[in-house]
Structure 1
């Protein structure tokens, strides 16, 4: 026949064993729980979507407010899922470790030693202590069960938010052509001088080039000083890519190259007569780039602006 102390010890060991089983079985209580290395809400997918957002921002002319709002929601949901997963892993590990220690050693935990005391006079107090410990452990197990459910809910929310973000991006990609046209139409316009007396054809070329290639530091059209050539009659504009007579390099030179190439490609449609850029001239009446003589300076040699004349 077992002694009261032996009975309490056996009950304590059975309690510990039950806690081990509960801690191990927790993932089954609310669906399979992801491991510590899992990706709650699919962070890798979210990172790929962020790359797409950066590209769309550049392609569509700046901050896409609605898209950024969806991006923020997805990021917050992913953060909640990660935090809950970390808390859940820590809680499960703590309970499982404590229960396993009690079960395997029977005495490592101080409370087990107290419960297993040989003094019969302490039996009732020890039994009450064992009940108290059991209640606390059971409450902790219930907390972990709730963490499992909360983490699964947060994970599902994060995945849904990521899907919503993906849909926003897909919608924007499908509307790419329409949005680009809007961006061109309403993007900042280049400051312009000498617009009084410009011909309608030159005005159309100026507006088209600015919309498609600009903005430029400035666009200058009608003037009568120096060697005005077509500027004097309103048939030419200078599309400046630098200011202060600075030689165009890097991005500025690239802008000039693209502007000249666009003017050549659309010359027939726009009525362009010739283009001058970087001490060369491209005359539509005799196509091809031809060198020009040195006129003595950066601006005079057209190294800081693209000159476009119309018929």
Structure 2
């Protein structure tokens, strides 16, 4: 005869509960193992980070050769690093969820405990005790939210991992594409040798002054033309860049001003060789004369100004 096991008013045969709890524990363990094997190991993430670090060094070396920062590569590198961080964070969340479900299942089995809600569904009358299948179903349903969380995290983490891999592959491709242009870029750098900032022109180089004055003459007046920025480590700080503003206060330009910006950027591209223009950024895209392929999209930096919808950025050699 079976010895009954009771918790307060709940009456569940000990042997029956052990069978059910063991089944739940085994199912949770299987879920953990299945999800874990479906994901890449944590050790795979550092390899992605190491690859980005190596590519970053390649970018720095290219920038030394190519006469300044390569915004297109910096932008893709930023996207790759953000994707890697998201994949890492989701992996940590997934591991925590796995551990929680496994711990709950193991605790239920080891302590022969019954969830409080089971008491509502059972009675002190042995004839009314739920069958094994019903009890197992209830225990499973009580963890449904956690199981759904794991399923969601598995999907999100896998998507983030694949996105990180995609961004790293794109960065590798962009670096190779730009590296192929070495001969042409060296010819450009020879033609447009570095210039010294000029006193009396806000620290701009004579080349930037010439480009600014010509664009102002052709398309002005602009709301503002912003050039040198003391302390900026990039082209603005070196007197080799200007922003031609099409609106103010971080607002989206009108349709006529957007068309005006299109005309300015087209003019800069057409006369890039004569004016020594290195790259143009406009409407979340970049046109770099040191690479091939024309306009290339950039990541969302969070605002109209940062995405260059309200101004045309022009940098010179």
Which of 44, 50, 55 is residue 49 of structure 1 equivalent to? 55
Mapped partners of 2:116, 2:18: distance in 1: 8
Contact 2:18 2:109 in 1 (8 A): no
Q: Which residue of 2 aligns with 1:252?
A: none
Q: 1:25 aligns with which of 34, 40, 43?
A: 34
TM-score (norm 1): 0.50
Aligned to 1:65: 71
Q: How big is each residue's C-alpha offset from its partner over 1:23-45, in whole Å with a ceiling of 9 and x where there is no partner? A: 222235xx3x1233332771111
Deviation at 1:175, TM superposition (A): 0.7
Does the CA contact (< 8 Å) of 1:49 and 1:166 recur in 2?
yes
Question: Are residues 189 and 21 of structure 1, via their aligned partners in 2, closer, same or farther at CA, if it must alter by over 3 Å?
Answer: closer
Structure 1's 41 and 73: CA in aligned 2 closer, same or farther, altered over 3 A?
farther
Give per-residue Cα distances to partners, 1:140-195, cap 9 Å, x unaligned.
Answer: 12321221222122111111110110111111111112112223433542489xxx
Query: Do residues 120 (structure 1) and 124 (structure 2) align?
Result: yes
CA contact (8 A) 1:74 1:161 kept: yes
Matches of 1:21 and 1:182, distance apart in 2: 62
Bigger Rg over Cα: 1
Q: 5+ unaligned residues in a row in structure 1: which ranges?
A: 193-214, 216-311
User: Kindly tell me: are residues 104 and 8 of structure 1, through their superposed partners in 2, closer, same or farther at Cα, counting changes over 3 Å?
Assistant: closer
**8 Å contact from structure 1 (residues 16, 99) kept in 2:** yes
How many residues get paired?
Answer: 188
> Is the Cα–Cα contact under 8 Å of residues 15 and 134 in structure 1 kept in the other structure?
yes
1:89 counterpart = 2:86:
no
Alpha-carbon shift at residue 47 of structure 1 (Å): 0.8
C-alpha contact (below 8 Å) 2:91/2:157 kept by paired residues: yes
**1:154 is the counterpart of 2:122:** no
Seen in structure 2, the aligned counterparts of structure 1 residues 61 and 105 have a Cα distance that, compared at 3 Å, is same
Q: Deviations over 1:86-125 (max 9, x none)?
A: 1111111221122123234434xx738976xx98179979
Q: Could you say which residue in structure 2 is the equivalent of 1:111?
A: 115
**1:150-299 equivalence runs, <5 A:** 150-190=156-196
The higher relative CO (CA closer than 8 Å, separation ≥ 6) is in 2
Give TM-score, length-normalised by structure 2.
0.49
Matches of 1:26 and 1:114, distance apart in 2? 28
Secondary structure of the residue aligned to 1:5 is strand
Structure 2, unpaired ranges of 5+ = 5-10, 199-205, 207-317
CA–CA distance in 2 between the matches of 1:93 and 1:124? Answer: 34
Kindly indicate whether the alpha-carbon contact (under 8 Å) linking 1:114 and 1:126 is maintained by their aligned counterparts in 2: no
Cα displacement (A) at 1:13: 3.7
Q: Which residue of 2 aligns with 1:140?
A: 146
| Mapped partners of 1:102, 1:17: distance in 2 | 12
Instruction: Report the counterpart of residue 12 of structure 2 in structure 1.
Output: 5
On the 8 A contact 2:21/2:105 being kept in 1, the answer is no
